[in-house]
Structure 1
């Protein structure tokens, strides 16, 4: 009989991410066949899972019931599923089905963020080891120098480490594009601050093959079949622990 880890069962259902599922299990809010399970418990066909007394539905084998959305997050929207937080991303998108963001963008930042009801793909995309490309357009408070571009590209000491080498291209007197494959907390802002610059605007333009094209600020759209195919292919070999991404 095929079984599945309880946290994966919950995240696959679209209820939340696997990390959040672990927290729910640890808090005693999950029941398996009416009993409190332990972390690492496996779910078999016929088992009944509930969170706070509400049944968790099984995901379809082909995940045809999952939702994948690209959203152009405006400044001022907070990437949280907590509905009591004013300006939360769930209320901003206004989608009827339960969804949650993949990673995050700071409240003062804007641009592309993905939302889904597929908890499994959340973990795969957030794994730092996958080195998925993200492109940002950044505006700063004073003219950019060649030394600034070189330093940003070669690595900047922040958060007790040195950022990975990356691609940086100047776009204007006070703006540049940066391509990152890691997601340290507030990475771009911290890198700029270390070099004496302050970020005045930050827009995430692209995640892997997905872009903001055709999306005005505050708009969202479903991913196309081709985009989904490429997305699933890109994360197919994901194997390690998920990390939260907050490069902005």
Structure 2
């Protein structure tokens, strides 16, 4: 029987077990031996990360042909528009690549979300807004490149769901064993 863990990766933590360049890593969170991250989140992104000791599951989660959905909340610089959301939904050009269509919608600032440490920069004259994106691919820093391509750079990025597994009420640094079917 394989182990699958849902972890709320804090801001600033690497999605690997070896610290690097002054960033803490997964080795400090007390995971069972033999589990590895099934994918990654950049050190400046937060939220849902799966870990498992099942290599076949990792391959399935990461192989683009399975189009495994991942849902993110992005806090962006400025008041995002419906036109920008339509462009995101249709796919945008980033770094010589046209992203696959995705689900995108403007959402209210989540009232349940934890404070980030350090906080997102605050500028009195420039508002921020939130967009929810569900992607079926995972290029490096894709959400950040996509929102920037439509004129709304990402200030904060939180993955809130992987497949059918929601982050739920896990706080940053917390994890739990998942018994639900992942894919």
TM-score with structure 2 setting the length? 0.83
Change (3 A) 1:163 1:96: closer
Backbone CA RMSD of aligned residues:
1.5
Determine which of 123, 128, 139 is the counterpart of 2:75: 139
Q: Which residue of the partner structure matches residue 90 of structure 1?
A: 27
- Equivalent residues in 2 for 1:175-186, closer than 5 Å: 175-186=130-141
Larger Rg: 1
CA drift of 1:68 comes to 1.3
Q: How many residues align?
A: 163
Runs of 4+ in structure 1 over 3 Å off: 83-86
Residue 80 of structure 2 corresponds to residue 125 of structure 1: no
Change (3 A) 1:221 1:142: same
Determine which of 144, 154, 164 is the counterpart of 1:199: 154
TM-score with structure 1 setting the length? 0.62
Residue 9 of structure 2 corresponds to residue 73 of structure 1: yes
Contact 1:90 1:99 in 2 (8 A): no
**Structure 2: which 5+ residue stretches go unaligned?**
109-127
Determine which of 219, 223, 236 is the counterpart of 2:178: 223
**Structure 1: which 5+ residue stretches go unaligned?**
1-63, 235-248
CA drift of 1:214 comes to 2.7
